[in-house]
Amino acid sequence: MPSDEQSIIAVNEAFYAAFAGRDLTVMEDLWAQSRPISCIHPGWGALHDRPSIMASWASILTGDEAPLIRCEHVYVRVADTAATVVCEEVLGDSRLAATNGFVYENGAWRLWHHHAGPIARRVTPKPKPLLN
């Protein structure tokens, strides 16, 4: 049986696979259904309702500039039925810092928050990624 950390990493990876694969159906399934959700795209104000969030993903995933994105440097923390993943999103030569919040819902970990923004500078050396 996978640990919570492994399950959350798998859902986080599925999120970026749906993102890179422009798969809106999977993207919608990855978000919590029974809990409020929120999403902050780079430079956007926060979206707090499911229709706006899914419309934003539809726009991003079907646009001409849908990003070839991948995820690196994944850190996971779990506290009972919620978890926070901090990672870096790589798009060509650009990197973004991302926060992905997960909640345990009906037997599975689902996204309840996403926040990403560009990294303009690095202040300290990058520590080795850890599960913590």
Using CB under 8 A as the criterion, which residues of the chain lie in contact with a second copy when the complex forms? 35-36, 38, 40, 42-49, 52, 56, 73, 75, 77, 79-84, 86, 88, 95, 97, 99, 101, 103-104, 112-113, 115, 117-124, 126-127, 130, 132
Minimum CB distance to a second copy smaller for 21 or for 82 = 82
Shortest distance (Å) from residue 129 CB to a second copy: 9
Q: How is residue 34 annotated by DSSP?
A: S
| 61, 78 contact by CB (below 8 A) | no
Question: Token pair of 100, please?
Answer: 């992905």
Minimum CB distance to a second copy smaller for 19 or for 110 = 110
Distance (Å, whole) CA 55 – CA 48? 12
> HSE on the CB side for 122, CA within 13 Å?
9
Shortest distance (Å) from residue 112 CB to a second copy: 7
Minimum CB distance to a second copy smaller for 22 or for 50 = 50
Minimum CB distance to a second copy smaller for 21 or for 101 = 101
List beta partners, residue 114.
39, 100
Shortest distance (Å) from residue 49 CB to a second copy: 6
Question: Token pair of 121, please?
Answer: 């500078």
Shortest distance (Å) from residue 13 CB to a second copy: 18
Distance (Å, whole) CA 39 – CA 50? 9
